[in-house]
Amino acid sequence: DGGITQSPKYLFRKEGQNVTLSCEQNLNHDAMYWYRQDPGQGLRLIYYSQIVNDFQKGDIAEGYSVSREKKESFPLTVTSAQKNPTAFYLCASIGRVGPDGELFFGEGSRLTVL
Amino acid sequence: KQEVTQIPAALSVPEGENLVLNCSFTDSAIYNLQWFRQDPGKGLTSLLLIQSSQREQTSGRLNASLDKSSGRSTLYIAASQPGDSATYLCAVKPRIYSGNTPLVFGKGTRLSVIA
């Protein structure tokens, strides 16, 4: 089945460590997005990529990094510079080239800093 | 800057009731509006997508309307069931430039349907 796969589902990190969250899609979508979700704050955009080898910062990019070497993959690294990384992270992709596509989400990864 | 508001933040209704969830946005220059459902600890599931040229979309017991000029959308759920309990989010795609502009999300309405 086509879809967006995020891994791991749960991740624990010690302070000072970098961690990488995986996002893979087999929908042949060009654009991919990373959102962070905190209780009571809604979804906030971290980074997005409209095409391979290109990405743009979202509203809260500080302390995060991404790469887009393949169309199917958009990994997110949470670096030690991110001061409050405990959150639920959601990856998404959009269904067609142009402005009117439908956004689809993965199941999310929950990161906890110990 | 586009802002999306969903009121109320939480809603509790008895099973079988018809209900309306509200979404408002500040800038009418949008490509489309999308409604999502989120179960606890899960990702978002797309429910309905309304293009800016459309007035409504229907899927089963769900009907979403869009009034772009007034900056409002409603999600109507008919004959609610306990399985409808979830958080419902709306999001708009700003018409800033061509391409896949990131969506702007509301904070959601948490719905509880009581059996």
The pLDDT value recorded for residue A36 is 97
Q: Which two tokens stand for residue A68?
A: 């887009």
The pLDDT value recorded for residue A101 is 81
- Across chain A, mean pLDDT equals 92
Amino acid at A73: S
* Element (DSSP H or E) covering residue B36: strand B30-38
Q: Helix, strand, or coil here: B84?
A: helix
Residue B19's contacts (CB-CB under 8 Å, 6 or more residues apart) are B11, B13, B76, B77, B80, B111
Distance from the A41 Cα atom to the nearest Cα atom in chain B, whole angstroms = 6
The pLDDT value recorded for residue A71 is 95
Distance from the A47 Cα atom to the nearest Cα atom in chain B, whole angstroms = 10
Beta-carbon separation of B32 and A100 below 8 A: yes
d(CA B105, CA B103): 6
Nearest CA-CA partner of A63 in A48, A77, A42: A77
Beta-carbon separation of A103 and B105 below 8 A: no
| List of chain A residues with pLDDT < 50 | none
Distance from the A105 Cα atom to the nearest Cα atom in chain B, whole angstroms = 6
Closest CB to B102 among A48, A102, A104: A48
Q: Is B108 exposed, middle or buried (0-12, 13-18, 19+ CB in 10 A)?
A: buried
Does B25 reach chain A within 8 Å, measured CB to CB? no
pLDDT truncated to tens, each residue of chain B (115 aa)? Answer: 899 999 999 999 999 999 999 999 999 999 899 999 999 999 999 999 999 999 999 999 999 999 999 999 999 999 999 999 999 999 999 887 656 678 999 999 999 999 9
